Structure 1
Amino acid sequence: MFLSTYEKQLDAKRRFVVPQDFRSAATGAEQGVFCFPSIEADCIEAGGQALFDQYQRVIDSLPFGDPLRSSLEWMVFGEQRRLAYDTAGRITLPEGLCQEFGLDDEVVIVGLRDRFQIWSRKAWQTRRDEQRRAAREGLSQFAALRRTHGGNGQGGGQG
Protein backbone atom coordinates (compact mmCIF):
# COMPACT_ATOMS: atom_id res chain seq x y z
CA MET A 1 0.00 0.00 0.00
CA PHE A 2 0.97 3.60 -0.54
CA LEU A 3 0.81 5.16 2.92
CA SER A 4 1.86 8.42 4.55
CA THR A 5 2.75 11.88 3.29
CA TYR A 6 6.22 12.98 2.18
CA GLU A 7 7.64 16.33 1.20
CA LYS A 8 10.21 16.09 -1.58
CA GLN A 9 12.46 18.45 -3.48
CA LEU A 10 12.29 18.53 -7.27
CA ASP A 11 15.66 19.02 -8.91
CA ALA A 12 16.23 21.09 -12.05
CA LYS A 13 15.28 18.08 -14.22
CA ARG A 14 11.94 17.66 -12.35
CA ARG A 15 13.12 14.51 -10.57
CA PHE A 16 12.44 13.36 -7.03
CA VAL A 17 13.15 10.21 -5.06
CA VAL A 18 10.07 8.03 -4.71
CA PRO A 19 9.80 6.76 -1.12
CA GLN A 20 11.39 3.31 -0.78
CA ASP A 21 8.23 1.62 0.49
CA PHE A 22 6.33 2.95 -2.55
CA ARG A 23 8.76 1.07 -4.84
CA SER A 24 7.87 -2.43 -3.66
CA ALA A 25 6.37 -5.42 -5.40
CA ALA A 26 3.44 -5.19 -2.98
CA THR A 27 2.37 -1.89 -4.57
CA GLY A 28 2.93 -3.15 -8.11
CA ALA A 29 5.36 -0.28 -8.60
CA GLU A 30 8.70 -2.05 -8.30
CA GLN A 31 9.63 -1.19 -11.92
CA GLY A 32 8.10 2.30 -12.06
CA VAL A 33 4.79 4.10 -11.82
CA PHE A 34 1.96 5.15 -14.06
CA CYS A 35 0.92 8.77 -13.73
CA PHE A 36 -1.76 11.00 -15.23
CA PRO A 37 -3.73 14.10 -14.26
CA SER A 38 -5.96 13.21 -11.32
CA ILE A 39 -9.64 12.96 -12.13
CA GLU A 40 -10.72 14.11 -8.68
CA ALA A 41 -8.26 16.88 -7.84
CA ASP A 42 -5.70 19.31 -9.24
CA CYS A 43 -2.66 17.07 -8.87
CA ILE A 44 -0.91 14.12 -10.48
CA GLU A 45 -2.33 10.67 -9.77
CA ALA A 46 0.20 7.83 -9.70
CA GLY A 47 0.46 4.17 -8.84
CA GLY A 48 1.66 0.77 -9.87
CA GLN A 49 0.21 -2.02 -11.94
CA ALA A 50 -2.58 -2.63 -9.41
CA LEU A 51 -3.93 0.90 -9.93
CA PHE A 52 -3.73 0.56 -13.70
CA ASP A 53 -5.56 -2.80 -13.51
CA GLN A 54 -8.24 -1.32 -11.28
CA TYR A 55 -8.95 1.51 -13.71
CA GLN A 56 -8.94 -0.94 -16.59
CA ARG A 57 -11.57 -3.12 -14.85
CA VAL A 58 -13.81 -0.11 -14.23
CA ILE A 59 -13.46 1.08 -17.81
CA ASP A 60 -14.05 -2.41 -19.22
CA SER A 61 -17.27 -2.72 -17.17
CA LEU A 62 -18.79 0.20 -19.08
CA PRO A 63 -20.30 -0.33 -22.54
CA PHE A 64 -18.34 0.79 -25.57
CA GLY A 65 -19.46 4.28 -26.56
CA ASP A 66 -20.65 5.21 -23.06
CA PRO A 67 -19.64 8.83 -22.38
CA LEU A 68 -18.16 7.95 -18.98
CA ARG A 69 -16.10 5.15 -20.53
CA SER A 70 -14.80 7.54 -23.19
CA SER A 71 -13.92 10.19 -20.60
CA LEU A 72 -12.10 7.67 -18.41
CA GLU A 73 -10.23 6.21 -21.39
CA TRP A 74 -9.20 9.72 -22.38
CA MET A 75 -7.96 10.65 -18.91
CA VAL A 76 -6.44 7.36 -17.77
CA PHE A 77 -5.05 5.89 -20.98
CA GLY A 78 -4.67 8.96 -23.19
CA GLU A 79 -3.01 11.13 -20.56
CA GLN A 80 -0.97 8.41 -18.89
CA ARG A 81 2.82 8.37 -18.65
CA ARG A 82 4.90 5.40 -17.58
CA LEU A 83 7.79 6.62 -15.42
CA ALA A 84 10.73 4.32 -14.70
CA TYR A 85 13.07 4.76 -11.75
CA ASP A 86 16.65 5.74 -12.27
CA THR A 87 19.43 4.08 -10.25
CA ALA A 88 18.73 6.41 -7.30
CA GLY A 89 15.00 5.57 -7.21
CA ARG A 90 13.97 8.86 -8.80
CA ILE A 91 11.29 9.51 -11.38
CA THR A 92 11.21 12.47 -13.74
CA LEU A 93 7.86 14.23 -13.89
CA PRO A 94 6.70 15.34 -17.34
CA GLU A 95 7.19 19.08 -17.84
CA GLY A 96 3.61 19.57 -19.03
CA LEU A 97 2.17 18.06 -15.86
CA CYS A 98 4.51 20.13 -13.71
CA GLN A 99 3.30 23.28 -15.43
CA GLU A 100 -0.36 22.25 -15.27
CA PHE A 101 -0.26 21.70 -11.50
CA GLY A 102 2.31 24.32 -10.49
CA LEU A 103 4.95 21.82 -9.41
CA ASP A 104 8.26 23.59 -9.00
CA ASP A 105 10.78 23.21 -6.18
CA GLU A 106 8.79 21.25 -3.59
CA VAL A 107 6.14 18.59 -4.00
CA VAL A 108 4.05 16.69 -1.50
CA ILE A 109 3.48 12.97 -2.06
CA VAL A 110 0.30 11.66 -0.44
CA GLY A 111 -0.19 7.88 -0.15
CA LEU A 112 -3.81 6.82 -0.61
CA ARG A 113 -3.63 3.02 -0.30
CA ASP A 114 -3.73 1.83 -3.93
CA ARG A 115 -2.44 5.11 -5.38
CA PHE A 116 -0.59 8.24 -4.49
CA GLN A 117 -0.93 11.86 -5.49
CA ILE A 118 1.73 14.44 -6.24
CA TRP A 119 0.79 17.97 -5.19
CA SER A 120 2.30 21.42 -5.13
CA ARG A 121 2.88 22.36 -1.51
CA LYS A 122 0.38 25.24 -1.59
CA ALA A 123 -2.39 23.23 -3.28
CA TRP A 124 -1.79 20.33 -0.87
CA GLN A 125 -2.20 22.60 2.16
CA THR A 126 -5.54 23.84 0.83
CA ARG A 127 -6.72 20.33 -0.05
CA ARG A 128 -5.57 18.96 3.31
CA ASP A 129 -7.64 21.58 5.14
CA GLU A 130 -10.67 20.77 2.95
CA GLN A 131 -10.29 17.04 3.54
CA ARG A 132 -9.90 17.51 7.29
CA ARG A 133 -13.14 19.52 7.44
CA ALA A 134 -14.97 16.98 5.27
CA ALA A 135 -13.71 14.08 7.41
CA ARG A 136 -14.79 15.79 10.65
CA GLU A 137 -18.23 16.59 9.27
CA GLY A 138 -18.64 13.15 7.73
CA LEU A 139 -17.56 11.34 10.88
CA SER A 140 -19.95 13.43 12.96
CA GLN A 141 -22.81 12.63 10.56
CA PHE A 142 -21.85 8.96 10.56
CA ALA A 143 -21.83 8.84 14.36
CA ALA A 144 -25.25 10.54 14.50
CA LEU A 145 -26.63 8.07 11.98
CA ARG A 146 -25.26 5.14 13.98
CA ARG A 147 -26.88 6.49 17.15
CA THR A 148 -30.21 7.01 15.37
CA HIS A 149 -30.22 3.45 14.02
CA GLY A 150 -28.94 1.81 17.20
CA GLY A 151 -25.54 0.84 15.83
CA ASN A 152 -23.15 -0.64 18.34
CA GLY A 153 -19.96 0.23 16.47
CA GLN A 154 -19.25 -3.46 15.86
CA GLY A 155 -20.15 -3.53 12.17
CA GLY A 156 -23.79 -4.15 12.48
CA GLY A 157 -26.61 -3.34 14.90
CA GLN A 158 -30.22 -3.78 14.41
CA GLY A 159 -32.56 -0.97 14.01
Structure 2
Amino acid sequence: MFMGEFQHNIDTKGRIIVPSKFREELGATFVVTRGLDQCLFAYPMTEWKVLEEKLKKLPLTKRDARAFTRFFFSGAIECEIDKQGRINIPQTLRTYASLEKECVIIGVSNRIEIWSHSTWETYVTESEESFAEIAENLMDFDI
Protein backbone atom coordinates (compact mmCIF):
# COMPACT_ATOMS: atom_id res chain seq x y z
CA MET A 1 0.00 0.00 0.00
CA PHE A 2 1.22 3.48 -0.88
CA MET A 3 0.81 6.29 1.63
CA GLY A 4 2.54 9.50 2.61
CA GLU A 5 3.46 12.83 1.06
CA PHE A 6 6.91 13.79 -0.26
CA GLN A 7 8.33 16.99 -1.76
CA HIS A 8 10.76 16.71 -4.69
CA ASN A 9 11.92 18.89 -7.56
CA ILE A 10 11.71 17.93 -11.19
CA ASP A 11 14.81 18.86 -13.18
CA THR A 12 14.95 20.56 -16.59
CA LYS A 13 15.22 17.15 -18.31
CA GLY A 14 11.96 15.99 -16.69
CA ARG A 15 13.52 13.69 -14.10
CA ILE A 16 12.11 13.40 -10.62
CA ILE A 17 13.19 11.28 -7.67
CA VAL A 18 10.71 8.60 -6.64
CA PRO A 19 10.65 8.37 -2.83
CA SER A 20 12.62 5.34 -1.69
CA LYS A 21 9.58 4.24 0.31
CA PHE A 22 7.68 3.73 -2.98
CA ARG A 23 10.38 2.23 -5.23
CA GLU A 24 10.21 -1.40 -4.18
CA GLU A 25 6.44 -1.57 -4.33
CA LEU A 26 6.35 0.08 -7.78
CA GLY A 27 8.67 -2.61 -9.11
CA ALA A 28 11.23 -2.64 -11.91
CA THR A 29 8.78 -1.16 -14.41
CA PHE A 30 5.50 0.61 -13.78
CA VAL A 31 3.04 2.81 -15.65
CA VAL A 32 2.61 6.58 -15.39
CA THR A 33 -0.39 8.23 -17.02
CA ARG A 34 -2.65 11.25 -16.87
CA GLY A 35 -4.66 11.22 -13.69
CA LEU A 36 -7.68 13.11 -12.53
CA ASP A 37 -7.54 16.58 -10.96
CA GLN A 38 -4.53 17.58 -13.12
CA CYS A 39 -2.01 15.17 -11.60
CA LEU A 40 -0.26 12.03 -12.81
CA PHE A 41 -1.08 8.52 -11.64
CA ALA A 42 1.62 5.83 -11.35
CA TYR A 43 0.64 2.18 -11.00
CA PRO A 44 2.67 -0.97 -10.34
CA MET A 45 2.25 -3.35 -13.29
CA THR A 46 -0.05 -5.66 -11.30
CA GLU A 47 -2.44 -2.79 -10.50
CA TRP A 48 -2.21 -1.45 -14.07
CA LYS A 49 -3.25 -4.85 -15.46
CA VAL A 50 -6.28 -4.95 -13.13
CA LEU A 51 -7.30 -1.47 -14.24
CA GLU A 52 -6.67 -2.31 -17.90
CA GLU A 53 -9.01 -5.32 -17.67
CA LYS A 54 -11.74 -3.19 -16.11
CA LEU A 55 -11.40 -0.52 -18.80
CA LYS A 56 -11.50 -3.15 -21.56
CA LYS A 57 -14.93 -4.19 -20.29
CA LEU A 58 -16.41 -0.71 -20.74
CA PRO A 59 -18.89 -0.59 -23.63
CA LEU A 60 -17.38 0.79 -26.82
CA THR A 61 -20.77 2.22 -27.69
CA LYS A 62 -20.70 4.65 -24.75
CA ARG A 63 -19.10 7.99 -25.58
CA ASP A 64 -17.85 8.58 -22.01
CA ALA A 65 -16.23 5.14 -21.91
CA ARG A 66 -14.40 5.77 -25.18
CA ALA A 67 -13.29 9.23 -24.08
CA PHE A 68 -12.01 8.08 -20.70
CA THR A 69 -10.19 5.08 -22.15
CA ARG A 70 -8.53 7.24 -24.81
CA PHE A 71 -7.52 9.86 -22.27
CA PHE A 72 -6.10 7.29 -19.88
CA PHE A 73 -4.23 5.03 -22.30
CA SER A 74 -2.92 7.66 -24.73
CA GLY A 75 -0.96 9.32 -21.93
CA ALA A 76 0.38 6.09 -20.46
CA ILE A 77 4.09 5.25 -20.50
CA GLU A 78 6.17 2.50 -18.93
CA CYS A 79 8.83 3.84 -16.57
CA GLU A 80 11.96 2.43 -15.00
CA ILE A 81 13.77 3.93 -12.05
CA ASP A 82 17.40 4.86 -12.79
CA LYS A 83 20.36 4.31 -10.44
CA GLN A 84 19.72 7.67 -8.75
CA GLY A 85 16.10 6.71 -7.98
CA ARG A 86 14.61 8.95 -10.69
CA ILE A 87 12.11 8.54 -13.49
CA ASN A 88 11.89 10.62 -16.64
CA ILE A 89 8.49 12.14 -17.26
CA PRO A 90 7.78 13.08 -20.90
CA GLN A 91 6.98 16.69 -21.76
CA THR A 92 3.35 15.91 -22.65
CA LEU A 93 2.68 14.57 -19.15
CA ARG A 94 4.67 17.39 -17.51
CA THR A 95 2.55 19.90 -19.40
CA TYR A 96 -0.71 18.16 -18.48
CA ALA A 97 0.15 18.20 -14.76
CA SER A 98 1.89 21.64 -14.84
CA LEU A 99 5.09 20.08 -13.47
CA GLU A 100 7.79 22.75 -13.61
CA LYS A 101 9.98 22.59 -10.51
CA GLU A 102 8.48 21.89 -7.10
CA CYS A 103 6.42 18.70 -7.02
CA VAL A 104 4.56 16.61 -4.49
CA ILE A 105 4.43 12.82 -4.68
CA ILE A 106 1.73 11.18 -2.61
CA GLY A 107 0.78 7.59 -1.89
CA VAL A 108 -2.88 6.78 -2.50
CA SER A 109 -3.48 3.13 -1.62
CA ASN A 110 -2.77 1.23 -4.86
CA ARG A 111 -1.02 4.05 -6.77
CA ILE A 112 1.13 7.12 -6.37
CA GLU A 113 0.23 10.55 -7.64
CA ILE A 114 2.58 13.27 -8.87
CA TRP A 115 1.38 16.84 -8.46
CA SER A 116 2.75 20.28 -9.12
CA HIS A 117 3.28 21.85 -5.69
CA SER A 118 0.95 24.78 -6.40
CA THR A 119 -1.84 22.56 -7.80
CA TRP A 120 -1.56 20.26 -4.76
CA GLU A 121 -1.70 23.19 -2.31
CA THR A 122 -4.83 24.55 -4.02
CA TYR A 123 -6.42 21.10 -4.02
CA VAL A 124 -5.68 20.54 -0.32
CA THR A 125 -7.01 23.97 0.66
CA GLU A 126 -10.23 23.47 -1.28
CA SER A 127 -10.68 19.91 -0.03
CA GLU A 128 -10.09 20.85 3.63
CA GLU A 129 -12.96 23.30 3.43
CA SER A 130 -15.36 20.55 2.37
CA PHE A 131 -13.76 17.50 4.04
CA ALA A 132 -16.67 16.96 6.45
CA GLU A 133 -19.17 17.10 3.58
CA ILE A 134 -17.08 14.70 1.49
CA ALA A 135 -16.87 12.28 4.43
CA GLU A 136 -20.62 12.50 4.95
CA ASN A 137 -21.24 11.67 1.27
CA LEU A 138 -19.02 8.59 1.58
CA MET A 139 -20.91 7.20 4.57
CA ASP A 140 -23.00 5.10 2.16
CA PHE A 141 -19.80 3.22 1.27
CA ASP A 142 -19.33 2.11 4.91
CA ILE A 143 -16.21 4.23 5.49
Give 1:43 deviation, angstroms.
Answer: 1.2
Partner of 1:98: 94
Query: 1:30 is matched by which residue type in structure 2?
Result: G
Q: TM-score, normalised by structure 1?
A: 0.77
Cα deviation per residue 1:17-72 (whole Å; 9 max; x = unaligned)? 11122112xx3x2113311111x211111121133123213212223333233223
Q: 1:137 to 1:63 in 2, by over 3 A?
A: closer
Equivalences for residues 6-155 of structure 1 within 5 A = 6-24=6-24, 27=25, 29-38=26-35, 40-139=36-135, 141=136
Query: 1:6 is matched by which residue type in structure 2?
Result: F
Q: Tell which has more relative contact order, 1 or 2 (C-alpha 8 A, sep 6+).
A: 2
Misfit runs of 4+, over 4 Å = none
Secondary structure of 2:42's counterpart equals strand
Cα-Cα RMSD: 2.1
- 2: CA distance between counterparts of 1:113 and 1:134? 21
Q: TM-score, normalised by structure 2?
A: 0.85
Q: 1:44 to 1:63 in 2, by over 3 A?
A: same
**Structure 1: tracts of 5 or more residues without a match:** 147-154
Q: Rg bigger for which structure? A: 1
